[in-house]
Protein backbone atom coordinates (compact mmCIF):
# COMPACT_ATOMS: atom_id res chain seq x y z
CA UNK A 1 0.00 0.00 0.00
CA UNK A 2 1.28 3.52 -0.78
CA UNK A 3 2.01 6.20 1.82
CA UNK A 4 -0.47 9.07 2.12
CA UNK A 5 1.10 12.14 0.52
CA UNK A 6 -0.36 15.31 2.01
CA UNK A 7 2.07 17.62 0.21
CA UNK A 8 0.22 17.19 -3.10
CA UNK A 9 -3.47 17.78 -3.73
CA UNK A 10 -5.42 14.71 -4.75
CA UNK A 11 -8.63 14.51 -6.80
CA UNK A 12 -10.56 12.50 -4.18
CA UNK A 13 -9.90 15.06 -1.45
CA UNK A 14 -10.50 18.09 -3.70
CA UNK A 15 -13.85 16.55 -4.72
CA UNK A 16 -14.64 15.81 -1.07
CA UNK A 17 -14.08 19.51 -0.29
CA UNK A 18 -16.32 20.57 -3.19
CA UNK A 19 -19.06 18.31 -1.80
CA UNK A 20 -18.69 19.88 1.66
CA UNK A 21 -16.76 16.96 3.21
CA UNK A 22 -14.06 17.06 5.88
CA UNK A 23 -11.62 14.43 4.64
CA UNK A 24 -9.24 16.87 2.96
CA UNK A 25 -5.97 18.68 3.67
CA UNK A 26 -4.86 22.31 3.30
CA UNK A 27 -3.22 21.57 -0.03
CA UNK A 28 -6.49 20.11 -1.38
CA UNK A 29 -8.55 23.04 -0.11
CA UNK A 30 -6.13 25.50 -1.72
CA UNK A 31 -6.47 23.81 -5.12
CA UNK A 32 -10.26 23.56 -4.78
CA UNK A 33 -10.48 27.27 -3.96
CA UNK A 34 -8.28 28.12 -6.95
CA UNK A 35 -10.50 25.93 -9.13
CA UNK A 36 -13.62 27.67 -7.79
CA UNK A 37 -12.21 31.11 -8.56
CA UNK A 38 -11.67 30.11 -12.18
CA UNK A 39 -14.72 27.90 -12.44
CA UNK A 40 -17.39 28.91 -9.90
CA UNK A 41 -19.87 26.28 -11.15
CA UNK A 42 -17.56 23.45 -10.16
CA UNK A 43 -19.23 22.73 -6.80
CA UNK A 44 -22.62 22.51 -8.56
CA UNK A 45 -21.06 20.19 -11.09
CA UNK A 46 -19.72 17.92 -8.33
CA UNK A 47 -23.16 17.77 -6.68
CA UNK A 48 -24.90 17.14 -10.02
CA UNK A 49 -22.48 14.32 -10.72
CA UNK A 50 -23.06 12.68 -7.36
CA UNK A 51 -26.84 12.98 -7.78
CA UNK A 52 -26.58 11.36 -11.25
CA UNK A 53 -24.58 8.46 -9.84
CA UNK A 54 -27.16 7.85 -7.13
CA UNK A 55 -29.97 7.90 -9.74
CA UNK A 56 -28.08 5.31 -11.79
CA UNK A 57 -27.58 3.00 -8.80
CA UNK A 58 -31.25 3.32 -7.80
CA UNK A 59 -32.48 2.77 -11.36
CA UNK A 60 -30.40 -0.35 -11.94
CA UNK A 61 -30.89 -1.80 -8.45
CA UNK A 62 -34.64 -1.40 -8.98
CA UNK A 63 -34.25 -3.52 -12.12
CA UNK A 64 -32.72 -6.31 -10.02
CA UNK A 65 -29.01 -5.66 -10.57
CA UNK A 66 -27.16 -6.08 -7.30
CA UNK A 67 -23.46 -6.26 -8.17
CA UNK A 68 -21.48 -3.02 -8.51
CA UNK A 69 -17.86 -2.28 -9.40
CA UNK A 70 -17.29 1.38 -8.54
CA UNK A 71 -13.99 2.49 -10.06
CA UNK A 72 -12.61 5.84 -8.84
CA UNK A 73 -15.13 5.67 -6.02
CA UNK A 74 -13.90 8.72 -4.10
CA UNK A 75 -14.05 9.23 -0.36
CA UNK A 76 -17.06 7.95 1.53
CA UNK A 77 -19.75 10.62 1.64
CA UNK A 78 -23.44 10.86 2.58
CA UNK A 79 -24.93 8.30 0.18
CA UNK A 80 -22.43 5.68 -0.86
CA UNK A 81 -23.14 3.15 -3.58
CA UNK A 82 -23.58 0.16 -1.24
CA UNK A 83 -25.95 2.14 1.01
CA UNK A 84 -28.09 3.31 -1.90
CA UNK A 85 -28.15 -0.15 -3.50
CA UNK A 86 -28.77 -2.07 -0.28
CA UNK A 87 -31.82 0.09 0.48
CA UNK A 88 -33.34 -1.47 -2.64
CA UNK A 89 -31.59 -4.84 -2.79
CA UNK A 90 -30.45 -5.95 0.68
CA UNK A 91 -27.92 -8.43 -0.69
CA UNK A 92 -26.25 -5.93 -3.03
CA UNK A 93 -22.45 -6.23 -3.14
CA UNK A 94 -20.10 -3.40 -4.06
CA UNK A 95 -16.40 -3.49 -4.82
CA UNK A 96 -14.95 0.00 -4.52
CA UNK A 97 -11.70 0.89 -6.27
CA UNK A 98 -9.61 4.03 -5.99
CA UNK A 99 -5.93 4.86 -6.41
CA UNK A 100 -5.82 7.26 -3.43
CA UNK A 101 -4.69 5.57 -0.19
CA UNK A 102 -6.75 8.08 1.84
CA UNK A 103 -9.88 6.73 0.16
CA UNK A 104 -8.90 3.23 1.16
CA UNK A 105 -8.31 4.19 4.82
CA UNK A 106 -11.62 6.05 5.17
CA UNK A 107 -13.46 3.48 3.09
CA UNK A 108 -12.28 0.50 5.10
CA UNK A 109 -13.37 2.09 8.36
CA UNK A 110 -16.83 2.86 6.90
CA UNK A 111 -17.16 -0.71 5.66
CA UNK A 112 -15.81 -2.50 8.72
CA UNK A 113 -19.29 -3.76 9.57
CA UNK A 114 -20.43 -4.62 6.04
CA UNK A 115 -19.27 -7.87 4.47
CA UNK A 116 -20.95 -7.02 1.19
CA UNK A 117 -18.72 -4.07 0.35
CA UNK A 118 -14.97 -3.88 0.03
CA UNK A 119 -12.24 -1.47 -1.09
CA UNK A 120 -9.29 -2.13 -3.37
CA UNK A 121 -6.46 0.33 -3.91
CA UNK A 122 -5.45 0.22 -7.57
CA UNK A 123 -5.39 2.49 -10.61
CA UNK A 124 -8.22 1.94 -13.09
CA UNK A 125 -5.52 1.23 -15.68
CA UNK A 126 -4.62 -1.94 -13.78
CA UNK A 127 -7.64 -3.93 -14.91
CA UNK A 128 -5.94 -7.28 -14.24
CA UNK A 129 -5.65 -6.60 -10.47
CA UNK A 130 -9.12 -5.08 -10.22
CA UNK A 131 -10.86 -7.82 -12.18
CA UNK A 132 -9.06 -10.51 -10.24
CA UNK A 133 -10.53 -9.06 -7.05
CA UNK A 134 -13.92 -8.56 -8.73
CA UNK A 135 -13.95 -12.23 -9.78
CA UNK A 136 -13.53 -13.22 -6.15
CA UNK A 137 -15.91 -10.69 -4.61
CA UNK A 138 -18.70 -10.32 -7.20
CA UNK A 139 -20.28 -13.34 -8.88
CA UNK A 140 -19.15 -13.80 -12.46
CA UNK A 141 -22.51 -15.24 -13.47
CA UNK A 142 -24.57 -12.19 -12.48
CA UNK A 143 -24.86 -8.83 -14.26
CA UNK A 144 -22.67 -6.12 -12.81
CA UNK A 145 -22.77 -2.34 -13.00
CA UNK A 146 -19.33 -0.93 -13.77
CA UNK A 147 -19.41 2.66 -12.57
CA UNK A 148 -16.82 5.16 -13.77
CA UNK A 149 -18.28 8.32 -12.38
CA UNK A 150 -16.17 11.46 -12.89
CA UNK A 151 -12.95 9.50 -13.04
CA UNK A 152 -11.96 8.98 -16.68
CA UNK A 153 -11.13 12.67 -17.11
CA UNK A 154 -8.19 12.22 -14.70
CA UNK A 155 -6.51 9.78 -17.05
CA UNK A 156 -4.53 10.68 -20.16
CA UNK A 157 -5.50 7.44 -21.94
CA UNK A 158 -8.59 7.49 -24.21
CA UNK A 159 -11.67 6.41 -22.21
CA UNK A 160 -12.35 3.60 -24.73
CA UNK A 161 -8.94 2.05 -23.95
CA UNK A 162 -9.48 2.22 -20.19
CA UNK A 163 -12.95 0.65 -20.26
CA UNK A 164 -12.21 -2.09 -22.87
CA UNK A 165 -11.03 -4.83 -20.45
CA UNK A 166 -13.95 -4.15 -18.11
CA UNK A 167 -16.47 -4.35 -20.94
CA UNK A 168 -14.94 -7.65 -22.12
CA UNK A 169 -15.19 -8.98 -18.56
CA UNK A 170 -18.78 -7.85 -17.89
CA UNK A 171 -21.32 -10.70 -18.06
CA UNK A 172 -24.25 -10.16 -20.49
CA UNK A 173 -26.93 -7.93 -18.98
CA UNK A 174 -24.27 -5.83 -17.21
CA UNK A 175 -24.13 -2.05 -17.50
CA UNK A 176 -21.38 0.50 -17.96
CA UNK A 177 -22.07 3.94 -16.45
CA UNK A 178 -19.79 6.88 -17.24
CA UNK A 179 -19.82 10.57 -16.43
CA UNK A 180 -17.10 12.79 -17.86
CA UNK A 181 -16.38 16.52 -18.06
CA UNK A 182 -16.91 17.47 -21.71
CA UNK A 183 -16.04 20.28 -24.08
CA UNK A 184 -19.68 21.03 -24.86
CA UNK A 185 -20.89 24.28 -23.41
CA UNK A 186 -17.50 25.43 -22.14
CA UNK A 187 -16.56 28.93 -23.02
CA UNK A 188 -13.34 28.69 -25.06
CA UNK A 189 -11.44 31.02 -22.75
CA UNK A 190 -12.22 28.91 -19.70
CA UNK A 191 -11.31 25.79 -21.64
CA UNK A 192 -7.91 27.20 -22.61
CA UNK A 193 -7.28 28.16 -18.97
CA UNK A 194 -8.28 24.72 -17.66
CA UNK A 195 -5.98 23.06 -20.18
CA UNK A 196 -3.07 25.27 -19.27
CA UNK A 197 -3.45 25.38 -15.50
CA UNK A 198 -4.93 21.98 -14.73
CA UNK A 199 -3.28 19.60 -17.16
CA UNK A 200 -4.35 16.65 -15.01
CA UNK A 201 -7.99 17.30 -16.12
CA UNK A 202 -8.70 15.86 -19.54
CA UNK A 203 -11.79 17.69 -20.77
CA UNK A 204 -12.79 15.72 -23.86
CA UNK A 205 -15.12 16.08 -26.85
CA UNK A 206 -18.34 14.04 -26.91
CA UNK A 207 -17.08 11.58 -29.56
CA UNK A 208 -14.22 10.38 -27.34
CA UNK A 209 -16.59 9.74 -24.45
CA UNK A 210 -19.14 8.08 -26.74
CA UNK A 211 -16.44 5.75 -28.06
CA UNK A 212 -16.17 4.14 -24.62
CA UNK A 213 -19.70 2.72 -25.11
CA UNK A 214 -18.96 1.11 -28.50
CA UNK A 215 -20.71 -2.24 -28.95
CA UNK A 216 -23.10 -1.64 -26.04
CA UNK A 217 -26.77 -0.68 -26.11
CA UNK A 218 -27.16 2.86 -24.82
CA UNK A 219 -30.07 3.33 -22.43
CA UNK A 220 -32.43 6.27 -22.78
CA UNK A 221 -31.89 9.20 -22.77
CA UNK A 222 -28.40 8.55 -24.22
CA UNK A 223 -25.23 10.48 -23.44
CA UNK A 224 -26.62 13.70 -22.00
CA UNK A 225 -25.83 16.32 -19.42
CA UNK A 226 -25.80 14.52 -16.05
CA UNK A 227 -28.58 16.81 -14.81
CA UNK A 228 -30.78 15.67 -17.70
CA UNK A 229 -30.31 11.93 -17.14
CA UNK A 230 -33.77 10.73 -16.14
CA UNK A 231 -34.73 13.93 -14.37
CA UNK A 232 -37.16 15.22 -16.98
CA UNK A 233 -36.80 17.85 -19.65
CA UNK A 234 -37.17 20.76 -17.27
CA UNK A 235 -34.12 19.91 -15.18
CA UNK A 236 -31.70 22.83 -14.93
CA UNK A 237 -28.52 22.55 -16.97
CA UNK A 238 -25.44 24.39 -15.79
CA UNK A 239 -23.17 26.10 -18.27
CA UNK A 240 -20.45 23.43 -17.98
CA UNK A 241 -21.89 20.11 -19.06
CA UNK A 242 -20.85 16.89 -17.55
CA UNK A 243 -21.83 14.20 -20.04
CA UNK A 244 -23.26 11.05 -18.53
CA UNK A 245 -24.66 7.82 -19.93
CA UNK A 246 -25.42 4.20 -19.15
CA UNK A 247 -25.25 1.31 -21.61
CA UNK A 248 -26.11 -2.38 -21.42
CA UNK A 249 -24.07 -5.31 -22.64
CA UNK A 250 -26.21 -7.62 -24.74
CA UNK A 251 -25.69 -11.36 -25.00
CA UNK A 252 -24.09 -10.83 -28.41
CA UNK A 253 -22.07 -7.65 -28.76
CA UNK A 254 -23.01 -5.24 -31.52
CA UNK A 255 -20.37 -4.37 -34.07
CA UNK A 256 -18.83 -1.09 -32.86
Ligand X SMILES: C[S@@+](CC[C@H](N)C(=O)[O-])C[C@H]1O[C@@H](n2cnc3c(N)ncnc32)[C@H](O)[C@@H]1O
Q: For residues 108 and 119, what is the distance between their CA atoms, to the nearest angstrom?
A: 6
Q: For residues 238 and 44, what is the distance between their CA atoms, to the nearest angstrom?
A: 8
Among positions 24, 35, 67, 98, the unique one binding ligand X when judged by CB under 6 A: 98
Closest CA to 53 of 255, 252, 250, 245: 245
Stretch that binds ligand X, among 21-29, 35-43, 151-159, 231-239 (CB under 6 A): 151-159
**Binding-site residue total for ligand X (CB under 6 A)?**
22
Strands (DSSP E) contained in 6-116 are 67-71, 93-98
* Residues 114-143, interacting with ligand X (CB under 6 A): 123-125
Does 15 sit near ligand X (CB under 6 A)? yes
- Our CB check for ligand X shows the closer of 31 and 151 to be 151
As measured in angstroms, the least distance from the Cβ of 33 to ligand X is 16
Q: For residues 119 and 81, what is the distance between their CA atoms, to the nearest angstrom?
A: 12
Q: For residues 242 and 224, what is the distance between their CA atoms, to the nearest angstrom?
A: 8
* Residues 178-237, interacting with ligand X (CB under 6 A): none
- Our CB check for ligand X shows the closer of 47 and 253 to be 47
CB 203 within 8 A of CB 232: no
Q: For residues 115 and 93, what is the distance between their CA atoms, to the nearest angstrom?
A: 8
Among positions 9, 24, 93, 100, the unique one binding ligand X when judged by CB under 6 A: 100
As measured in angstroms, the least distance from the Cβ of 121 to ligand X is 9
As measured in angstroms, the least distance from the Cβ of 155 to ligand X is 5
As measured in angstroms, the least distance from the Cβ of 233 to ligand X is 24
Which helix (H) or strand (E) segment holds residue 44: the answer is helix 42-62
The pattern of x and - marking residues 18 through 47 that bind ligand X according to CB under 6 A reads ------------------------------
**Long-range pairs for 228-234: beta carbons < 8 A, 24 or more residues apart:** 229/52, 229/55, 229/56, 230/55, 230/59, 231/55
As measured in angstroms, the least distance from the Cβ of 217 to ligand X is 23
The residues that touch ligand X, with contacts defined as CB under 6 A, are 10-12, 15, 49-50, 53, 72-74, 98-100, 103, 123-125, 149-151, 154-155
Amino acid sequence: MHEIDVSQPHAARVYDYLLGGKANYAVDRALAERFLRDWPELADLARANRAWMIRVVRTLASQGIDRFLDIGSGLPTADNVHQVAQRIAREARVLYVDNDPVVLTHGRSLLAADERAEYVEAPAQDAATILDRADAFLDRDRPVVVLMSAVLHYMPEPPADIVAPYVRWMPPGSHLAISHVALEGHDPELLARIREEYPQQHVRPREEIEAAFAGLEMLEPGLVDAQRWRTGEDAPVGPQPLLAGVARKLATRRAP
